[in-house]
Chain A
Amino acid sequence: MPNWTRLVQERLARVKLPAGVKEEVVAELAAHLEEAYEDARWRGFAEEAAAQVALQEVEDWRVLAAEISRARAEEDGMNNRTKSLWLPGMVNLIAAPGLLMILQKLGVQPRVVWIGNMAMVFYFPWLITLPIFGALGAWLAKRAQGSTWYRLAAGLAPALAMLGMFVLVLPLSIALGTSHRSGFPWVYFALTMLVWVGLPAGALMVGALPFLNSGRVVVKG
């Protein structure tokens, strides 16, 4: 039996769709060809003839590629990205800091670690929960057929947002810091980044990892 997935991949190589959507289209069309082949075999065709019967399902792959691009691209260009990246990322971005705020309201005290004269604040109960949020973001992105990069970004959204804030704040801090006698506190800045970006990113990644493979989500029922 021909490798239908590879055949469809090759013939739709020029279709420009988001990775997750293209993967889904290839899987669906390959499954159709496989069934057409098996149906022909069941009707008594020899292997080669059955493969030819299946291949007759598509007269011109270029036309099909163009029609599929048109049919899926308009929706998926914007909407798919929204569904598979922005929404899962936003959910994660609201949920993870939301929990931190709740913990603070509940009076959960942070662990303050002194490094020299620099105080580093750790919310360990929050850090422990972050793998759940990483998993949530990546799972939602995967469920919406998002690519591996979308799943990663959605899973790490809170850490990426913090990184963005640091990047924005950095020039301002340097400008203010250089006017100070002691100059800009690079070590303090780096340690703060480690606590608020590096550690959360690592914890989120632990949760997101199982959802980064390229397998599809199968919805039962």
Chain B
Amino acid sequence: MTRRIRSKIARGSGELAILALLEEQPLYGFEIAKQIGERTGGALTFTLASLYPLLYEMEKRGWVEGHWQANDAGRDRRYYRLTASGRKQLAPLRQEWRAFFQALDSLAGVSHA
């Protein structure tokens, strides 16, 4: 697998993970990375370097929107929330990934079911 394909898969899965997470509630960068790591048992991890360029790209596309707000500890954090456009992206992205895993499963038997 070339680096480019790996990068595209990582990017695509990252976008879906972020959108799915923000569908539940607005979160700031560190929380996004932490929750993705925790909820995937560490299978998906984001560092600062991988998270923010992706978030900024998604913001540029209008899928998410950042705004400064004080967190529970009273510190200013840039929270991201899903926009209407981002919400529209979720269903087709989910469908694409479902199709991708089904295709991979039929080829390589990767499903655990």
A: residues with CB less than 8 A from B are 24-25, 27-29, 31-33, 35-36, 39, 56-60, 63-64, 67-68, 70-72, 74-75, 216-221
> CB-defined interface of B32-48 with A at 8 Å, one 1/0 digit per residue?
01100000000000011
| Residue of A59, A71, A216, A219 most packed against chain B (CB within 10 A) | A71
Inter-chain contacts of B67 with A (CB < 8 A): 219
B contacts with A, residue count (CB < 8 A): 23
> Provided the pairs A24-B78, A72-B60, A216-B76 are in contact, do residues A57 and B53 lie with their beta carbons within 8 angstroms?
no
Query: If the complex has contacts A71-B57, A72-B60, are A218 and B69 also in contact, measured as CB distance less than 8 A?
Result: yes
Given that A68-B56, A75-B60 are known contacts, is A58 also in contact with B48, CB under 8 Å in the complex? Answer: yes
Q: Are B69 and A28 in contact (CB under 8 A)?
A: no
Q: In the complex, what residues of B have CB within 8 A of residue A27's CB?
A: 76, 78
- Asked if A57 contacts B49 (CB within 8 A), the reply is yes
Known: A32-B48, A57-B48, A67-B53. A216 touches B30 (CB 8 A): no
A63 to B70, CA, bound (A): 30
Assembled-state Cα–Cα distance A28/B69 (Å) = 12
Task: Tell me whether B70 and A28 are in contact (CB under 8 A).
Answer: no
Given contacts A57-B49, A218-B76, 15 further A-B pairs with CB under 8 A are A28-B29, A28-B52, A31-B30, A36-B48, A64-B48, A70-B53, A71-B60, A72-B60, A75-B59, A75-B60, A217-B68, A218-B68, A219-B67, A220-B70, A221-B69
Interchain CB contact under 8 A, A220 and B47? no
- Of the A-B pairs whose beta carbons lie under 8 Å apart in the complex, a sample of 5, sorted by A's number, is A28-B52, A28-B78, A31-B28, A57-B49, A71-B60
In the complex, how many residue pairs between chain A and chain B have their CB atoms under 8 Å apart? Answer: 72
Tell me the smallest distance from the CB of A42 to a CB of chain B, in Å: 12
CB contacts (< 8 Å) of A67 on chain B: these are 49, 53
Q: Are A71 and B76 in contact (CB under 8 A)?
A: no
> How near does chain A come to B69, taking the closest CB pair, in angstroms?
6
- Give the contacting residue for A220; candidates B33, B52, B69; CB below 8 A: B69
B76 proximity list for chain A (CB < 8 A): 27, 31, 216, 218
Specify which chain A residues have a CB less than 8 angstroms from the CB of B70 in the assembled complex.
Answer: 218, 220
Q: Give the contacting residue for A64; candidates B49, B59, B69; CB below 8 A.
A: B49
Which residues between 48 and 106 of chain B lie within 8 Å of chain A, taking CB atoms? 48-49, 51-53, 56-57, 59-60, 67-70, 75-78
CA distance A217 to B69 in the complex (A): 9
A57 to B29, CA, bound (A): 12
Contacts of B51 in A (CB 8 A): 32
The distance in angstroms between the C-alpha atoms of A24 and B67, with both chains bound, is: 11
Cβ distance B53 to chain A, nearest Cβ, rounded Å: 4
Q: Which of B47, B52, B68 contacts A68 (CB 8 A)?
A: B52
**How far is A219 from B78 in the complex, measured between Cα atoms in Å?**
10
Shortest beta-carbon distance from A211 to chain B in Å: 16
Closest 9 CB pairs of A and B: A71-B56, A57-B48, A67-B53, A35-B30, A75-B60, A58-B49, A57-B47, A218-B68, A219-B67
Residues in A whose Cβ lies below 8 Å from that of B78: 24, 27-28, 31
